[in-house]
Copies of this chain bind each other. A is one copy, B any other.
Amino acid sequence: MTTKSSKIRIKDIAEKAGVSIGTVDRVLHNRGDVRSETREKILQIVKEMGYTPNLFAKSLASKKTYRLAVLIPDSNDNPYWKHPKSGIIKAADEIKSFNTSVNIFPFNATDEASFRNCFIQVLRTEPNGIVFNPVFREASFEFIELMEAKNIPFVYIDTFLEKSNCLAYFGQNAKQSGRVAAKILSQILPENGEVLIVKLANRKVISHHLKNREEGFIEFFNEQNKCNCKFTSLIIDLLDSNEPNQSLYTAFKTHPNINGIFVPNSRVFKVANYLKENNKTDILCLGYDLLHENIDFIEENVIDYIIGQRPEDQGYHGVMALFNHIALKKVVNKSNYSPIDIIIKENINYYNY
């Protein structure tokens, strides 16, 4: 089996058609000024010879430059976003030789005004494409209108917004990941297990992920008729300095038989911290995302399972999808769900973080 480099140049098809390379170039780019017969003939030969342009020569000669903009939460506020960001930077690095620049605009994910400001700023730079995390529904829909008016293609990352015509979406199926979590717990916990669901979040912004993950989690258990586990659900304010300790203390007091904990976001390390300090490490603890903080607790056997979603890949492919669409005119997949990685102490070293 051989895969060899394609050698057919514009010059070759020009010669075969008995025209100049300028003419071929014109039909290849629909620039007009070509007689329709000549045009057809050239297109025919192009197809016959299987011409594929040399992308390097193309980008060398091209005077076009592209600007991409990325709007994501500030990684100083939420360490999770360091990971998508690093993937974005990797993509930026790869495509910068294709006359394409990438600008990252961080916003405060707990402050809608910050998101709005950020977007206005972005639109002022008149980018050719936008990757963004649509945490704020209404604001996002407003900006989608603006982008569509200006014909700027956009890609969602992490969160999906239904009923909108994005170029692509990169993220996890949140609900299904909740089902995965449920399956794991249901298989390990005893018949009469008691599970605590801990939602650590900002009071003002309960993310879709949190909601959907919990939904999938509970849905799965309800479908299993053999398993009659009990649930307790807790919403804890991230900004309260007494938390999550206070709420957890109360929860364990009132539910002393809890043997499983499900934390539907990356803040699981805060719960793990409590478990460790109170010698409750035998409780089966499951959370999300490979933050450094979580990794430490996995290695200490405090957290038992982490569900990962390859945030670097999401960032990387989000940018690349935009680039492929805009610069290379390739078709890109709209729906791109990340794997729901099941990570434990024994395989954590083989996931990059």
State whether B100 touches A180 (Cβ < 8 A): no
Number of copies: 2
Q: Tell me if A204 counts as interface (CB < 8 A to partner B).
A: no
What are the residues of chain B within 8 A of A6 when measuring CB–CB?
A: 96-97
State whether A99 touches B5 (Cβ < 8 A): yes
Q: Tell me if A120 counts as interface (CB < 8 A to partner B).
A: no
Bound: A56/B55 CA distance, A: 8
Q: Tell me if A281 counts as interface (CB < 8 A to partner B).
A: no
A346 is contacted by which of B57, B103, B179 (Cβ under 8 Å)?
B179
What are the residues of chain B within 8 A of A344 when measuring CB–CB?
A: 180, 183, 342
What are the residues of chain B within 8 A of A176 when measuring CB–CB?
A: 346-347, 349-350
State whether B351 touches A104 (Cβ < 8 A): no
With A60-B57, A180-B344, A344-B180 as given contacts, are A5 and B350 in contact (CB-CB < 8 Å)? no
Interface residues of A (CB under 8 A from B): 1-6, 54-57, 59-60, 65, 89, 92-93, 96-104, 106, 172-173, 176-177, 179-180, 183, 187-188, 220, 337-347, 349-351
What are the residues of chain B within 8 A of A1 when measuring CB–CB?
A: 103-104, 106
A2 is contacted by which of B97, B103, B188, B340 (Cβ under 8 Å)?
B103
State whether A96 touches B346 (Cβ < 8 A): no
State whether A5 touches B188 (Cβ < 8 A): no
State whether B56 touches A101 (Cβ < 8 A): no
Bound: A343/B346 CA distance, A: 15
- Rounded to whole Å, the gap between the CB of A178 and the closest CB of chain B is 10
**Which partner residue on chain B sits nearest A284 by CB separation?**
B187
Closest 4 pairs between A and B when the two form their complex, measured CB to CB? A56-B56, A3-B92, A340-B347, A342-B342
Bound: A183/B344 CA distance, A: 9
- Rounded to whole Å, the gap between the CB of A284 and the closest CB of chain B is 9
Bound: A246/B205 CA distance, A: 60
Most buried by B among A93, A106, A350: A350
State whether B3 touches A93 (Cβ < 8 A): yes
State whether A97 touches B5 (Cβ < 8 A): yes
A55 is contacted by which of B92, B97, B338 (Cβ under 8 Å)?
B97
**Which partner residue on chain B sits nearest A347 by CB separation?**
B340
**Which partner residue on chain B sits nearest A345 by CB separation?**
B183
What are the residues of chain B within 8 A of A98 when measuring CB–CB?
A: 56
Could you write out 23 A-B pairs with CB less than 8 Å apart?
A: A1-B103, A3-B89, A3-B96, A4-B101, A5-B99, A55-B56, A56-B56, A56-B57, A56-B59, A57-B60, A177-B347, A179-B346, A180-B347, A183-B344, A183-B345, A187-B188, A220-B346, A337-B349, A339-B350, A339-B351, A340-B346, A341-B347, A342-B344
State whether B339 touches A97 (Cβ < 8 A): no
Bound: A56/B5 CA distance, A: 15
Bound: A222/B340 CA distance, A: 30
What are the residues of chain B within 8 A of A106 when measuring CB–CB?
A: 1
A56 is contacted by which of B3, B60, B89 (Cβ under 8 Å)?
B60
What are the residues of chain B within 8 A of A99 when measuring CB–CB?
A: 5
Q: Knowing that A4-B101, A180-B346, A339-B347 are A-B contacts, what are 5 other residue pairs whose CB atoms are under 8 Å apart, sorted by A's residue number? A: A4-B96, A56-B56, A176-B347, A177-B347, A340-B346
**Which partner residue on chain B sits nearest A57 by CB separation?**
B60
Bound: A1/B71 CA distance, A: 11
